[in-house]
Structure 1
Amino acid sequence: MSSAIVNGMAGAGGGIIAQIITYPLQTVNTRQQTERVAKDSIQSPAGSTFVHIFQVIRNEGFGGLYSGLKPSLLGTAASQGIYYSFYQAFKNKAEAIARENKRKGKGDGSPGMLSWLVVAALAGSVNVLLTNPIWVLVTRMQTHTQAEKKITEAKREALLKAASENVLSQSLLSDQLAALDSMKPRPYGTFQAACEVYNESGVAGFWKGIIPTLIMVCNPSIQFMIYESLLKRLRSKRSANKQGSVNVTALEFFLVGAVAKLGATVCTYPLLVVKSRLQAKQEIGGNISLRYSGTLDAIVKMIRYEGLRSFYKGMSTKIVQSVFAASVLFMVKEELVKTYALLSNKRPKNILKTLK
């Protein structure tokens, strides 16, 4: 089995485990990102991650924290599998070019930071184009209850306003408010989400947010640049100190992955918020000034109506979720690669060599 396929399968396995562990935080973070609050309004202090978690549990039960988990797991398996397969294939090519350059007297035989950026960007672009429809559905399912609540509130406000202007009688108001309160939540699964997206925007709707998502490719690019650079430095240091094995432990993969993801998340978080806003149901908030026709429109309206801080909503939650998820993913993925090599009767000291 080729190294690209091995790394792709290991990446998918690591991604699924990390996703299951951190999914509640991801759900809460998506809701935080898509919540529209005017910059002039007084925000509730109930904005912490734990408060959001308890609110979801109280209103929707524990199942609310796992809304959209099934398509998310499918998306994670597909996304990580595709990403790591192409990443390893491009990485093999970059390392072959570096070795060839060394024979010509250029460089030390290993790819530089720019090479890692290009490799990660190419793999990320392929992954985004193929898996964006899945993540559109996941975002819809994570924010559906929030969107329905906003729509109901907007209808209630419209009825009360009509009654105050004597357009609606008190008896009719009472009947309509009672009907509104008696409405039960509609079943909302993957199929319903897909139909909603298609009815709103056609096939193109499944690629909503593709521009900021493609730009977001710089997130894993930065992440893998930091990751590969730190691993290279760690191995070089061990080799220079003659510590024997240059293999990296599971804990070290975990820590290096955490540092890499932290740096990437801080740099690219505003784009993640814009992407989530575009992929969420646009009726949310009930205000046309907070509905977006595209990436630029979203950025302009967010600055105008909510201020610059709207680009950093839920960032603390995202840092905890993404850093921990990336750490688990890297650790599990590398251990799975090692396990495959051992099961294939390859000695541990030759693992890294044989999988390049």
Structure 2
Amino acid sequence: MSNAIANGVAGAGGGIIAQIITYPLQTVNTRQQTERIAKSKRSTAASTNTLLQILHVVRTEGWGGLYSGLKPSLFGTAASMGIYYYFYQLFKNKAEAIAVARKLKGHGDGSVGMFSWLVVAALAGSLNVLLTNPIWVLVTRMQTQTQAERKIMESKREALMREATENSFTASILQEKLDELDSTKPHPYGTIHAAREIYSEAGIRGFWKGIIPTLIMVCNPSIQFMIYETSLKRLKEKRAANKQGVKNVTALEVFLLGALAKLGATVTTYPLLVVKSRLQAKQEIGGIGNTSLRYSGTVDAIIKMIRYEGLPGFYKGMSTKIVQSVFAASVLFMVKEELVKAYMFLVDKISKVQLKAIKWDDEYSLEVVGF
């Protein structure tokens, strides 16, 4: 197994573990990002923190509500991490080989520069996005399904109240209709249902909604890995200078470096993440008749968000995302590095066993021929 494949498998394993641990935060964060409140209504809107929102979801939808879309999300995480780390390692190996070749020609010190790390991460990220975007469209839809259904119910209730006023409904008739409407409670739906809905709305193109901001967001892992690789390299150089060796980089230190790297990347690129989530969610979240909070594309979303919600709209749920993404990235880096170390340990053990077997065979052959 090549080191690229080993890193791909390790990345997928670490990504799955991190995803399971932090998924409730991710679900709440997606709902925060896709909630659309115009500036004129923001002052009267109730502001709830992440913990209260988690408790609200558990109370109204059960624990399953926090894990809506978990199955495709785990599959997407495994696919994304596997694809990303595989191509990242391939491009990293190439960049390091180019750096060594340049050093032999008298150019540079043989190390990979910051710009090269950015290019490596960007190339791997772009391939990952193009291949896995449909999975994340499904996940976003499933995470925000009950939120969208609730908005639809609110719009129907408002329409019913207007109809009652215009047609002079009696109180009993109005209450009967309201009770009938309230009896239909929002509930999460499955992967197949979500896929059919997306296809019925926009065909195959619907599975690549939000692809433009997502591709632009490739700079997120680029920034993340630039910070991580640079920090890890400096730490190893410091250890080597102190004659402690690179093996003294602990799992905790990798965890902290991963947290620092993800924090810097998240703060920089969060507005693009909000735009992407809004494009991938049901547009009914903005209200059935409210075109000001429904988007036809990336540019339309950005313009309307600036006009109707202002800059704060681009940072909704950011505190939740920082906690979720930083913790998830830290777990991912730590688990990945430990899995790679375990793989290298096994390879080393197998190699030693094979060498002993070859040595024994050679000695036995010499004894047979009388030497």
Same fold, judged at TM 0.5 (above)? yes
Is the aligned partner of 1:332 residue 2:346?
no
Q: Which residue of 2 aligns with 1:320?
A: 323
Q: Which residue of 2 aligns with 1:30?
A: 30
Percent of residue pairs bearing the same amino acid type:
76
CA RMSD of aligned residues (A): 1.5
Q: Does 1:196 align with 2:194?
A: no
Matched-pair contact (CA < 8 Å) for 2:69–2:190: yes
What is the SS of the residue equivalent to 2:167? coil
For the Cα contact (< 8 Å) 1:37–1:43, is it kept in 2?
no
Q: Which residue of 2 aligns with 1:21?
A: 21
**Preserved contact between residue 279 and residue 297 of structure 2 (Cα < 8 Å):** yes
User: How many pairs were matched up?
Assistant: 347
Other structure's SS at 1:344 match: helix
* 1:319 Cα deviation from its structure 2 partner: 0.2
Residue 224 of structure 1 aligns to a residue whose secondary structure is helix
Task: Tell me if the contact between 2:100 and 2:110 (Cα under 8 Å) persists in the aligned partners.
Answer: yes
Distance in 1, matches of 2:230 and 2:67, equals: 35
2:48 paired residue number: 47
Looking at structure 2, the residues matched to 215 and 346 of structure 1 have their Cα atoms a distance apart, in angstroms, of 43
Counterpart amino acid of 1:216?
A: M
Report the CA distance between 1:246 and its aligned residue: 4.6
| Partner AA of 1:289 in structure 2 | S
Distance 1:43 1:267, change over 3 A: farther
1:12-161 aligned within 5 A: 12-41=12-41, 42-161=43-162
Q: Hey, what's the Cα distance between the residues in 1 that align with 2:308 and 2:320?
A: 23
Shift of residue 101, structure 1, vs aligned partner: 0.4
Contact persistence 2:68–2:188 (CA under 8 A): no
Give 2:304's aligned residue.
301
Unaligned runs of 5+ in 2: 351-371
1:43/1:342 CA distance change after superposition, 3 Å: farther
- Higher Cα Rg, which structure: 2
Extract unaligned runs of 5+ from structure 1: 348-356
Partner of 1:238, secondary structure, is helix
Q: Indicate the residue corresponding to 1:235 in structure 2.
A: 236
Query: Which residue of structure 2 lines up, in the alignment, with residue 277 of structure 1?
Result: 278
TM-score for both structures, normalised by structure 1: 0.94
Is 318-327 or 176-185 further displaced after alignment?
A: 176-185
SS at match of 1:37: coil
Instruction: Give the distance between the partners of 1:187 and 1:300, measured in 2 at CA.
Output: 31
Instruction: Check the 8 A contact 2:26/2:321 in 1, yes or no.
Output: yes
> Quick check: 1:151–1:285 contact (8 Å CA) kept in 2?
no
Q: Does 1:341 align with 2:344?
A: yes
Kindly indicate whether the alpha-carbon contact (under 8 Å) linking 1:269 and 1:315 is maintained by their aligned counterparts in 2.
yes
Deviation at 1:284, TM superposition (A): 1.1
Give the letter aligned to residue 54 of structure 2.
Answer: I
In 2: Cα distance, 1:342 partner to 1:80 partner:
22
Deviates more, 1:93-102 or 1:179-188: 179-188
- Counterparts in 2 of 1:289 and 1:45: CA distance versus 1, 3 Å: closer
Question: SS of the counterpart of 1:75?
Answer: helix
Cα distance in structure 1, aligned partners of 2:117 and 2:349:
27
Write the distance in 2 (CA, Å) between the matches of 1:187 and 1:223.
33
What letter is aligned with 2:51?
F
Q: Does 1:8 align with 2:8?
A: yes
Contact 1:163 1:170 in 2 (8 A): no
Secondary structure of the corresponding residue to residue 348 of structure 2: coil
CA distance 1:43–1:90, shift in 2 (3 Å): farther
